[in-house]
Amino acid sequence: MSEGLCVHILDDDEAVRDSMSALLDSYGFEQNIYASAIRFLGEVTPGFAGCLLLDIRMPEMDGLEVLQSLVSKGITLPVIIITGHGDLPMAVKAMKFGAVDFIEKPFEEDILVESVRRAMVIGEQIHAQDSEKKNLEIRLEKLTPREHEVLIHIATGLQNKVIAYEMGISPRTIEIHRARVIEKMQARNLSHLVRMAIEGGVLRSRS
């Protein structure tokens, strides 16, 4: 599992927090533990990776409010809702807001661990996608304005001669720029370069 991934536990019940923490610790899961929804929301960032075990009923904010706040912040942390007796309607609503699973108290240990494992796989995929996006942004920032313009033309499918004509420079110069763009973007081939341009929103730069 990737470095930096951990299980974030948010529950106002100390006994439940301690029980979940001890269980997950025995399976080697790294953890961050919170007793307050306000404190958690004050600290959580899009960089948080892993998954969140979230109690549905808490005094400051309930789990649905926390989940809605995460969505509004653009935080895609996979959430497992921890529910009590009679909370099924709220748990179903939480699933509609993006929670990946819910578990009823008192929970069975193997069910909790298996749910966390599934959520951590999702969290790892999200973490990998975020890292790839950041790397792509860094590569794009290395391009000069002229190289960025060449990349836009390449991504629209234009040939070197056409690009040269539109930019008012020689085809040979375009070839040099194209080679530098491929090198800086670390593209395996042309299709890979075009895909990165699309993913990086480069085509939106074309007026």
Q: 65: which 2 tokens? A: 């409010």
Collect all residues with Cβ–Cβ distance below 8 Å to 170 and sequence separation of at least 6: 164
Q: What pLDDT was estimated at residue 204?
A: 64
pLDDT class of 2 with cuts at 50, 70, 90: very low
Can you say whether the dihedral through the CA atoms of 63, 64, 65, 69 is positive or negative?
positive
What are the tens digits of pLDDT across the range 5-36? 899 999 999 999 999 999 999 999 999 999 99
Q: Using the predicted structure, report yes or no on whether residue 174 has a pLDDT greater than 60.
A: yes
Using the predicted structure, report yes or no on whether residue 90 has a pLDDT greater than 90. no
Q: Which CATH superfamily is 6-131 part of?
A: Response regulator (3.40.50.2300)
- Distance from chain centroid for Cα 68: 16
Select the highest-mean-pLDDT range: 34-38, 72-76, 137-141.
34-38
0.75 surpassed by pTM? no
Query: In the chain, which residues fall in CATH 1.10.10.10?
Result: 142-205
pLDDT at 67: 93
Q: Which residues pair with 104 in a beta bridge?
A: 83
- In DSSP terms, 9 is beta-bridged to 33, 53
Name the residue with higher pLDDT: 5 or 1. 5
Q: Which helix (H) or strand (E) holds 137?
A: helix 109-141
Cα separation, 68 vs 63, in Å, equals 9
**Looking at domain 142-205, which CATH architecture does it have?**
Orthogonal Bundle (1.10)
Domain(s) of CATH 3.40.50.2300: residues in the chain: 6-131
Enumerate residues 6+ apart whose C-beta is below 8 A from 122.
51, 78, 100
pLDDT (0 to 100) of residue 170: 93
Element (H, E) at 7: strand 6-10
Residue of higher predicted confidence among 120 and 130: 120
Residue with tokens 């690009």: 163
